[in-house]
A and B are shown apart, each in its own frame.
Chain A
Protein backbone atom coordinates (compact mmCIF):
# COMPACT_ATOMS: atom_id res chain seq x y z
CA UNK A 1 0.00 0.00 0.00
CA UNK A 2 1.09 3.55 -0.60
CA UNK A 3 -0.05 6.88 0.77
CA UNK A 4 0.62 10.58 0.31
CA UNK A 5 0.38 13.35 2.89
CA UNK A 6 0.39 16.98 1.91
CA UNK A 7 1.20 18.72 5.14
CA UNK A 8 -0.49 22.05 4.43
CA UNK A 9 -4.02 22.41 3.10
CA UNK A 10 -3.66 26.15 2.50
CA UNK A 11 -0.57 28.27 1.92
CA UNK A 12 -1.04 32.05 1.62
CA UNK A 13 2.00 34.00 0.45
CA UNK A 14 2.78 37.44 -0.91
CA UNK A 15 3.86 37.96 -4.49
CA UNK A 16 7.61 37.56 -5.10
CA UNK A 17 8.07 35.66 -1.82
CA UNK A 18 9.48 32.10 -1.79
CA UNK A 19 7.15 29.17 -1.16
CA UNK A 20 7.44 25.51 -0.20
CA UNK A 21 4.60 23.02 -0.50
CA UNK A 22 5.34 19.90 1.51
CA UNK A 23 4.66 16.32 0.47
CA UNK A 24 5.54 13.11 2.31
CA UNK A 25 4.81 9.63 1.05
CA UNK A 26 4.97 6.04 2.23
CA UNK A 27 5.38 2.95 0.12
CA UNK A 28 6.78 -0.54 0.48
CA UNK A 29 8.21 -0.47 -3.06
CA UNK A 30 10.11 2.04 -5.14
CA UNK A 31 7.99 4.84 -6.51
CA UNK A 32 7.63 7.56 -9.06
CA UNK A 33 6.61 10.99 -7.77
CA UNK A 34 4.60 13.75 -9.41
CA UNK A 35 3.37 17.27 -8.76
CA UNK A 36 0.26 18.44 -10.60
CA UNK A 37 -1.41 21.87 -10.68
CA UNK A 38 -5.15 22.44 -10.99
CA UNK A 39 -6.83 25.74 -11.82
CA UNK A 40 -10.53 26.21 -10.89
CA UNK A 41 -12.94 23.90 -12.74
CA UNK A 42 -10.17 22.40 -14.85
CA UNK A 43 -8.31 19.13 -15.04
CA UNK A 44 -4.86 18.54 -13.60
CA UNK A 45 -1.69 19.52 -15.45
CA UNK A 46 1.68 17.93 -14.80
CA UNK A 47 4.12 20.33 -13.18
CA UNK A 48 7.11 18.02 -12.73
CA UNK A 49 7.98 14.41 -12.03
CA UNK A 50 10.69 12.23 -10.57
CA UNK A 51 11.20 8.83 -12.16
CA UNK A 52 14.91 8.19 -11.63
CA UNK A 53 18.30 9.89 -11.86
CA UNK A 54 18.89 13.34 -10.42
CA UNK A 55 16.89 13.88 -7.26
CA UNK A 56 16.29 17.55 -8.11
CA UNK A 57 13.72 18.10 -10.84
CA UNK A 58 12.61 21.39 -12.33
CA UNK A 59 9.61 22.68 -14.25
CA UNK A 60 9.65 25.23 -17.04
CA UNK A 61 7.91 27.88 -14.92
CA UNK A 62 10.41 28.05 -12.07
CA UNK A 63 9.16 25.34 -9.71
CA UNK A 64 11.50 22.63 -8.46
CA UNK A 65 11.16 19.58 -6.23
CA UNK A 66 13.70 17.37 -4.55
CA UNK A 67 13.24 13.67 -3.97
CA UNK A 68 14.55 12.75 -0.52
CA UNK A 69 14.43 8.99 -0.12
CA UNK A 70 15.60 8.92 3.52
CA UNK A 71 12.88 11.37 4.56
CA UNK A 72 10.35 10.01 2.04
CA UNK A 73 9.58 13.53 0.90
CA UNK A 74 9.08 15.37 -2.38
CA UNK A 75 8.62 19.03 -1.44
CA UNK A 76 7.80 21.61 -4.11
CA UNK A 77 9.56 24.98 -4.03
CA UNK A 78 9.63 28.22 -5.95
CA UNK A 79 11.99 31.09 -5.04
CA UNK A 80 9.62 33.87 -6.16
CA UNK A 81 5.89 33.37 -6.80
CA UNK A 82 3.55 35.26 -9.08
CA UNK A 83 -0.16 35.99 -8.80
CA UNK A 84 -0.68 33.52 -11.63
CA UNK A 85 0.69 30.68 -9.47
CA UNK A 86 -2.50 30.78 -7.41
CA UNK A 87 -3.98 27.29 -7.81
CA UNK A 88 -4.34 23.93 -6.13
CA UNK A 89 -1.32 21.66 -6.14
CA UNK A 90 -1.41 17.88 -5.84
CA UNK A 91 1.39 15.52 -5.00
CA UNK A 92 1.03 11.98 -6.34
CA UNK A 93 2.92 8.72 -6.00
CA UNK A 94 2.85 5.72 -8.27
CA UNK A 95 4.44 2.35 -7.71
CA UNK A 96 7.24 1.65 -10.17
CA UNK A 97 5.84 -1.89 -10.51
CA UNK A 98 2.13 -1.14 -11.01
CA UNK A 99 1.41 1.66 -13.44
CA UNK A 100 -2.30 1.62 -12.74
CA UNK A 101 -2.25 2.64 -9.11
CA UNK A 102 -1.52 6.31 -8.49
CA UNK A 103 -2.29 7.79 -5.09
CA UNK A 104 -2.92 11.51 -4.71
CA UNK A 105 -2.59 13.78 -1.71
CA UNK A 106 -5.52 15.95 -0.59
CA UNK A 107 -4.05 19.01 -2.27
CA UNK A 108 -2.57 22.33 -1.14
CA UNK A 109 -4.24 25.57 -2.10
CA UNK A 110 -1.61 28.18 -2.87
CA UNK A 111 -2.92 31.74 -2.73
CA UNK A 112 -0.56 34.48 -3.89
CA UNK A 113 -1.50 37.93 -2.65
CA UNK A 114 -0.35 41.24 -4.17
Chain B
Protein backbone atom coordinates (compact mmCIF):
# COMPACT_ATOMS: atom_id res chain seq x y z
CA UNK B 1 0.00 0.00 0.00
CA UNK B 2 1.49 3.32 -1.08
CA UNK B 3 1.20 6.20 1.28
CA UNK B 4 2.68 8.66 3.69
CA UNK B 5 3.04 7.91 7.39
CA UNK B 6 3.73 10.11 10.38
CA UNK B 7 4.71 9.09 13.87
CA UNK B 8 3.91 9.41 16.62
CA UNK B 9 0.24 10.39 16.39
CA UNK B 10 0.44 12.24 19.72
CA UNK B 11 3.58 13.71 21.28
CA UNK B 12 4.11 15.49 24.55
CA UNK B 13 7.11 17.67 25.19
CA UNK B 14 8.44 19.40 28.26
CA UNK B 15 9.59 22.96 27.88
CA UNK B 16 13.23 23.16 26.82
CA UNK B 17 13.26 19.79 25.06
CA UNK B 18 13.86 19.10 21.41
CA UNK B 19 11.54 16.58 19.77
CA UNK B 20 11.63 14.93 16.36
CA UNK B 21 8.58 14.10 14.27
CA UNK B 22 8.88 11.32 11.73
CA UNK B 23 7.56 11.41 8.15
CA UNK B 24 8.03 8.57 5.68
CA UNK B 25 6.61 8.08 2.18
CA UNK B 26 6.75 5.18 -0.26
CA UNK B 27 5.16 7.03 -3.17
CA UNK B 28 8.52 7.70 -4.83
CA UNK B 29 7.85 11.43 -4.59
CA UNK B 30 10.73 13.85 -4.96
CA UNK B 31 9.23 16.69 -2.92
CA UNK B 32 8.27 16.66 0.76
CA UNK B 33 6.79 19.34 2.98
CA UNK B 34 6.08 20.17 6.63
CA UNK B 35 3.11 22.29 7.65
CA UNK B 36 1.85 23.56 10.97
CA UNK B 37 -1.89 23.86 11.63
CA UNK B 38 -3.38 25.86 14.49
CA UNK B 39 -7.09 25.96 15.39
CA UNK B 40 -9.07 28.20 13.07
CA UNK B 41 -6.12 28.74 10.81
CA UNK B 42 -4.95 27.30 7.58
CA UNK B 43 -1.72 25.43 7.03
CA UNK B 44 1.53 27.31 7.28
CA UNK B 45 4.63 26.01 5.51
CA UNK B 46 7.60 25.28 7.78
CA UNK B 47 10.13 23.65 5.43
CA UNK B 48 10.10 21.89 2.10
CA UNK B 49 12.52 19.75 0.14
CA UNK B 50 12.44 19.14 -3.58
CA UNK B 51 15.38 16.71 -3.75
CA UNK B 52 17.54 14.68 -1.40
CA UNK B 53 20.10 16.67 0.60
CA UNK B 54 18.41 19.96 -0.19
CA UNK B 55 15.66 21.88 1.60
CA UNK B 56 14.29 25.42 1.83
CA UNK B 57 12.70 27.44 4.59
CA UNK B 58 9.01 28.10 4.42
CA UNK B 59 7.10 30.94 6.01
CA UNK B 60 7.63 29.94 9.68
CA UNK B 61 10.96 28.06 9.84
CA UNK B 62 12.28 29.70 13.03
CA UNK B 63 12.65 27.17 15.82
CA UNK B 64 12.47 24.16 13.50
CA UNK B 65 15.05 22.08 11.65
CA UNK B 66 14.86 19.32 9.04
CA UNK B 67 17.05 16.86 7.17
CA UNK B 68 16.59 14.99 3.90
CA UNK B 69 19.17 12.22 3.78
CA UNK B 70 16.86 9.76 2.02
CA UNK B 71 14.17 10.28 -0.57
CA UNK B 72 11.62 8.48 1.61
CA UNK B 73 12.21 10.37 4.84
CA UNK B 74 11.87 14.00 5.96
CA UNK B 75 12.04 14.28 9.78
CA UNK B 76 11.19 17.55 11.52
CA UNK B 77 12.85 18.61 14.77
CA UNK B 78 11.02 21.10 16.95
CA UNK B 79 13.72 22.80 18.97
CA UNK B 80 13.54 24.58 22.31
CA UNK B 81 13.83 27.84 20.37
CA UNK B 82 10.27 27.40 19.10
CA UNK B 83 8.31 29.46 21.62
CA UNK B 84 4.83 28.13 20.93
CA UNK B 85 5.15 24.61 19.51
CA UNK B 86 1.76 23.21 20.52
CA UNK B 87 0.02 22.50 17.21
CA UNK B 88 -0.97 19.85 14.69
CA UNK B 89 1.88 19.04 12.31
CA UNK B 90 1.24 17.71 8.81
CA UNK B 91 3.73 16.20 6.42
CA UNK B 92 3.05 16.00 2.69
CA UNK B 93 4.77 14.74 -0.44
CA UNK B 94 4.33 15.25 -4.15
CA UNK B 95 5.81 14.63 -7.54
CA UNK B 96 7.24 17.89 -8.80
CA UNK B 97 4.45 20.36 -9.52
CA UNK B 98 1.66 17.87 -8.82
CA UNK B 99 -0.85 17.25 -6.05
CA UNK B 100 0.37 17.06 -2.47
CA UNK B 101 -0.54 13.94 -0.51
CA UNK B 102 -0.81 14.37 3.25
CA UNK B 103 0.02 12.13 6.17
CA UNK B 104 -2.37 11.67 9.13
CA UNK B 105 -0.60 14.27 11.27
CA UNK B 106 1.14 14.49 14.65
CA UNK B 107 -0.41 16.46 17.49
CA UNK B 108 2.33 18.01 19.62
CA UNK B 109 1.54 19.35 23.09
CA UNK B 110 3.94 21.18 25.33
CA UNK B 111 3.44 20.42 29.01
Residue A58 CB within 8 A of the other chain:
no
CB pair A100 B42 closer than 8 Å: no
Report how far A44 CA is from B58 CA in the complex, Å: 19
A-to-B contact residues, CB < 8 Å: 4, 6, 9, 32, 34, 36, 41-46, 49, 90, 92, 96, 99-102, 104-107
Residue-wise interface mask of B (95-110) relative to A, using a CB-CB cutoff of 8 A (1 in contact, 0 not): 0111111111101000
User: Which residues of chain B come closer than 8 Å to A36, judged between CB atoms?
Assistant: 102
Q: A102-B45, A104-B43, A105-B42 are in contact. Are A44 and B56 (CB under 8 A)?
A: no
Question: DSSP majority for the B interface?
Answer: strand
7 further interface pairs, Cβ-Cβ under 8 Å (given A43-B90, A106-B40, A106-B41) = A34-B100, A43-B92, A44-B43, A46-B101, A99-B97, A100-B50, A107-B40
